[in-house]
Amino acid sequence: MFKIFFLNALVFAFLLEAFSFIGVQFNIFSYPSIPSYGNTSTFEGSDWRNEKELWGAWHKKNFTSNSSKSCFDVTYKTNNIGARDNKDYSKQSESIILLGDSFGEGVGVNFEDTFTAKIKPTNMEVFNFSSAGDFGPLQEYIIYKELASTYNHKEVIVFFLPANDFTDNSYKYQQTLFGKRYRPYFQKKISDSFDIYYPDGSLPSDRFPSDVRKNSFKLKSFLIDYFYSANILRQFRLIILGANPKIQKVFNKSYGYNFDDEESIEGVLYYYSKLFEEIPDEIYKTLIIIPTDRDLREIKSNKWSYQKLDWYKGIKKITKDNNVNLIDLALDNNIASEALLEKGINSWFLKCDGHWNKNGHSYAAMRYLELKNKKEDK
């Protein structure tokens, strides 16, 4: 009897793993991950991260950390202010400021292959105030106001990732997933404005939450590191969380470019408006919209026309009203061409991770420089 049960369990586990593998290949999971097989059990080498600044996720100063997965092995270095850079930042230097999340930080690629390194002009520095760790538009606004704006700068570039930027700072969503992390959230008031909220009981920490979790949830780390089946378990957890009425509206909405939760969109647009109002008029400003591999695949399959959605129209209005250059990396001359989408799907992303590889960073840099050169030639 036990032998039959054991064999059935073994067959079930094999089928579950096979289904999970296929599911990852066809991108059917909300947050797909590929096993690292022991190469890493922390969030992108989280020992170099902390969560003690007003904007939440950031990095320890003058720190070096290694992170590896099956498709990359990189060393992260931080400078005198905790930014990912090989050099210190001086307030006397003229600079271009980059605000973004893990794509801006350059997860999974060496520093010389990042967007930051590729756009650097000969007569100006590029100061990167991006951070991974659920870093959204509200945090970009706060880090610019509190830190980045104190540096001498002539330009500001903002990365916008619809895949998670709509929910990164939404407390009704994140409170259930991440609990009492020391990070800012937006909460809508009775009027059309929003308040900044830090969870009750949250405290600044020199350690990043996932760096703490890796010592507490050994089984979870083991499953994530060695089994595709962890994707199914994560998906079930998200489905269960979606039943929570506090986050159901957000959680059950579509992903990325097709996102349509009204309150979360309003919060993002509200803080992007405040960010661009905070930046002096004479500063050259650019907003870059970043599609994920999943976004490109869904656009290619013509599942929806995102340019008619409220969030996209709102972004276009904000950039126009504030004299901000807008680049949508899913479009080429305002068209989602088959060739561009296919190129992006096949060559822009790390196969084991989902962030840009060096080709993705190069393409984004090329699009930015191309537009900037056109502006300067006029």
DSSP codes, 258-306: G---HHHHHHHHHHHHHHHHHS-TTSEEEEEE---HHHHHHHHTT---G
CATH number of the domain encompassing residue 64: 3.40.50.1110
Which residues, listed in sequence order, are joined to residue 58 by a DSSP beta bridge?
Answer: 50
- In which band, very low, low, confident or very high, does the pLDDT at 370 lie, cut at 50, 70 and 90? very high
**Residues 177-207 pLDDT 10s:** 666 789 999 988 877 789 999 988 888 888 8
The sheet carrying 95-99 orders its strands as 125-128, 95-99, 153-160, 284-289, 324-328
Residue 289 located in a structural domain: yes
**Residues 234-253 pLDDT 10s:** 666 655 554 444 444 444 44
* Type and span of the H or E element at 360: helix 358-377
Specify the length of the chain in residues.
Answer: 378
Q: Which region among 141-150, 182-191, 331-340 has the lowest average model confidence (pLDDT)?
A: 331-340
pLDDT of residue 362: 97
In this predicted structure, the answer to whether residue 43 has a pLDDT above a threshold of 70 is no
Rounded Cα gap, residues 340 and 296, in angstroms: 9
**Residues 201-236 pLDDT 10s:** 888 888 876 544 444 445 666 776 677 777 777 666
In this predicted structure, the answer to whether residue 256 has a pLDDT above a threshold of 90 is no
Q: What 3-state class would DSSP assign to 159?
A: strand
Q: Look at the chain and report how many structural domains it folds into.
A: 1
Which residues, listed in sequence order, are joined to residue 128 by a DSSP beta bridge?
Answer: 98
Residue 223 located in a structural domain: no
pLDDT of residue 332: 83
Rounded Cα gap, residues 237 and 197, in angstroms: 26
Contact 358/111 with Cβ under 8 angstroms?
no
Contact 234/29 with Cβ under 8 angstroms?
yes
Residue 8 located in a structural domain: no
Residue 140 located in a structural domain: yes
In this predicted structure, the answer to whether residue 96 has a pLDDT above a threshold of 50 is yes
What's the domain range around 363? 43-210+249-377
Rounded Cα gap, residues 28 and 228, in angstroms: 13
pLDDT of residue 32: 64
Question: Token pair of 144, please?
Answer: 């610019």
Residue 148 located in a structural domain: yes
Residue 70 located in a structural domain: yes
Q: Is 292 left (phi over 0), alpha (psi -120 to 50) or beta?
A: beta
Residue 271 located in a structural domain: yes
Residue 238 located in a structural domain: no
For 342, phi then psi, to 5°, come to: -65, -40
Rounded Cα gap, residues 24 and 9, in angstroms: 22
Work out the mean pLDDT of the chain and round it to a whole number.
Answer: 84
Please report, as a single letter, which amino acid is at residue 106.
G
Rounded Cα gap, residues 135 and 144, in angstroms: 13
The candidate with the shortest Cα–Cα distance to 368, out of 138, 159, 161, 165, is 159
